[in-house]
Amino acid sequence: MTDLLVDLGRNATARRLIGALGLPLPLPTALRRGRGPMPALCLADQSVVVGAAGAGGLVPMLAETLAAAGARPLLAGWSMDAFVGPGEAYGRPPRAAESLAEGQRVDALVFDASGLDGSDALAALHGFFQPWVGRVARSGRVLLLGRPADDPALTSGAAAAQSSLDGFVKSLAKELGRHGVTANLLRVEPGAEGRAGAVVRWLLTNRSAFVSGQALRVSLAAAGEASAAVVRPLEKRVALVTGAAQGIGAATARALAAEGAHVLCLDRPQEEAAATALARELGGTAVAADLSDPASIAAVVAAVAALGGVDVVVHNAGVTRDRTMARMKREHWDAVLAVNLRAVLALDAALDPLLREGGRVVCLSSIAGIAGNVGQTAYAASKAALIGWVRARARELGARGVAVNAVAPGFIETRMTAAVPVAIREAGRRLSALGQGGLPEDVAATITFLAGPAGLGVTGQTLRVCGGAFLGA
């Protein structure tokens, strides 16, 4: 899929020309994306400006995470103490952010806002970000850390301050998006700090390039020990991907396999050739099953059982039968709900005994399920249902160490969206902070993150991979 504006934006002359002519063309920034398996030093030599407010309770976690991932911490108005030890251990000594040469850009800004406890404290946000936002490199990262605003232990003032972060980070995402810079918020429940590092790391890598304006929460809801495995964390794991033959499903199968998983590539019998080719390429196993048919579930269970169980289930298969409600026939309605919802519920129930401890389930929701769309009552209902499903399943499976989440893609450049009329397609791309569509690889990278050990602290949530789409935000 080519995006003319992104291509033009890559060309400096074209950028200047469009600027000189005063054309009202918002040129999106080509995003820097990581390829292949995650390297051990996934933030190698990245300069990260770090600040904190109040007690800075998440700073020790941050110091350890950044140094171990190879980042260079630059401290803005914050004590170096917590960074000295990790700096020594990993050869990443902290420096004062002010020591940075004039005009030199940084790769990321990270602010620990967990200590914000009242209205006056919010000035710290201005104090940290105002001088630095303009210095973030293209396709850079902004990350805020906070505490859950619904924590009953918070004073009402602190709750207000923590709640302010949502509006702040979403606005920042919209302001910085045209430079390809993402801004996200990570809320860390007290006690879950040990699980936050892996999430921080992922949110700062080039794998989260299309995730912007989002809030994630790290909790202790799923049982288990935080794992330090960064490289090939899915080795010796079995992953089932439904709808694996094309688009996001195929990209997800590839990404999971790149991290070591044995992938069961499931698709309809009509797609068997593609699914088989993919499975062969990935050293996985192909499964032909029509999920709209309840009888197919048994075949899937048999394929999973043959591998001795499953660690990762990605419910990616989905169909659309877009009609306005007035024109939607019952068969259309049923077709959408059969695959998008009923099959997910049935498959999860059937696979439950085969889902191993510490497993991961990821459902593909959609921003249509969050924002709604003309002609998508059935589709949006099915996708919104999954948001509730993962929330409930996370509670049910938490004790087994299983994390259950949904990802909600925004406009992704796939065969499906290529068929959309041009005006709607352009609107889908441009009505977002990053001003462009995402790639199947962006969704695949997000699923792979949630499917790995890094996802332990994240459960019951829906993460949008939408480039900061304005819809439903």
Partner 1 sequence: MNKQDGRRAVVVTGARTPFVKAFGDFTTMDTIALGVAASRGALARAGLGVRDVDAVVWGGVILPSGSPNVGREIALDLGLDPRAEAMTVTRACASGLQAITLAAAAIERGEADVVLCGGSDSTSNAEIKLPQKVVHALAPLALGKPTTADYLGVLSQLWPITDLLPRQPKIAERSTGEVMGQAAERMATRNEISRAAQDAFALRSHQRAAAAIASGRFDDELVEVTTPEGKVVRVDGLVRGDTTLEKLGRLRAAFAKEGTLTAGNSSALTDGGAAVVLMSEAKARALGLRPKAAFRSWAYVGVDPADQLLMGPALAMPLALERAGLSLADIDLVDLHEAFAAQVLSVLKMLASDAFAQARLGRAAAVGAVADERLNVHGGSLALGHPFGATGARMVTTMANELARSGKKTALLGICAAGGLGAAAVLEAVD
Catalytic residue numbers read: 379
Question: For 334, phi and psi rounded to 5 degrees?
Answer: -65, -40
Confirm or reject binding of residue 134 to partner 1 (CB under 8 A): no
Q: Which two tokens stand for residue 348?
A: 């999860």
Site map (CB under 8 A) of partner 1, residues 375-404, x = contact: ------------------------------
> What span, in angstroms and rounded, lies between the C-alpha atoms of 195 and 457?
5
Task: Give the residue, chosen from 66, 92, 212, 466, that forms a contact with partner 1 under the rule CB under 8 A.
Answer: 92
Kindly give, in sequence order, each residue whose CB lies less than 8 Å from that of residue 242, ignoring residues fewer than 6 positions away: 249, 266, 267, 291, 314, 315, 316, 317, 343, 347
* Nearest distance, CB of residue 94 and partner 1, angstroms: 11
Give strand ranges (E) for 197-304: 215-218, 238-242, 262-267, 285-288
Confirm or reject binding of residue 89 to partner 1 (CB under 8 A): yes
Confirm or reject binding of residue 41 to partner 1 (CB under 8 A): yes
Short-list 226, 111, 238, CA closest to 458: 226
Q: Do the Cβ atoms of 199 and 454 come closer than 8 Å?
A: yes
> What span, in angstroms and rounded, lies between the C-alpha atoms of 379 and 420?
16
Confirm or reject binding of residue 454 to partner 1 (CB under 8 A): no
Q: Do the Cβ atoms of 94 and 83 come closer than 8 Å?
A: yes
Confirm or reject binding of residue 90 to partner 1 (CB under 8 A): yes
Helix and strand numbers, DSSP H then E, in the chain? 17, 14
| Cβ distance to partner 1 smaller for residue 71 or 303 | 71
Confirm or reject binding of residue 226 to partner 1 (CB under 8 A): no
| Cβ distance to partner 1 smaller for residue 84 or 305 | 84
Confirm or reject binding of residue 100 to partner 1 (CB under 8 A): no
Confirm or reject binding of residue 194 to partner 1 (CB under 8 A): no
Confirm or reject binding of residue 104 to partner 1 (CB under 8 A): no
* Nearest distance, CB of residue 88 and partner 1, angstroms: 4
Confirm or reject binding of residue 44 to partner 1 (CB under 8 A): yes
| Cβ distance to partner 1 smaller for residue 44 or 273 | 44
* Nearest distance, CB of residue 93 and partner 1, angstroms: 5
Q: Do the Cβ atoms of 401 and 359 come closer than 8 Å?
A: yes
Total site size for partner 1, rule CB under 8 A = 16
Confirm or reject binding of residue 85 to partner 1 (CB under 8 A): yes
Confirm or reject binding of residue 233 to partner 1 (CB under 8 A): no
Confirm or reject binding of residue 40 to partner 1 (CB under 8 A): yes
* Nearest distance, CB of residue 136 and partner 1, angstroms: 23
Strand order in the sheet with 47-52: 95-96, 72-75, 47-52, 106-112, 136-146, 182-188, 215-218
Confirm or reject binding of residue 68 to partner 1 (CB under 8 A): yes
Q: Considering only 38-46, 99-107, 244-252, 428-436, which stretch makes contact with partner 1 by CB under 8 A? A: 38-46
Short-list 437, 440, 406, 417, CA closest to 278: 440
> What span, in angstroms and rounded, lies between the C-alpha atoms of 473 and 212?
11
Q: Which two tokens stand for residue 224?
A: 């288990």
Q: Which residues bind partner 1 (CB under 8 A)?
A: 40-41, 44, 64, 68, 70, 84-93
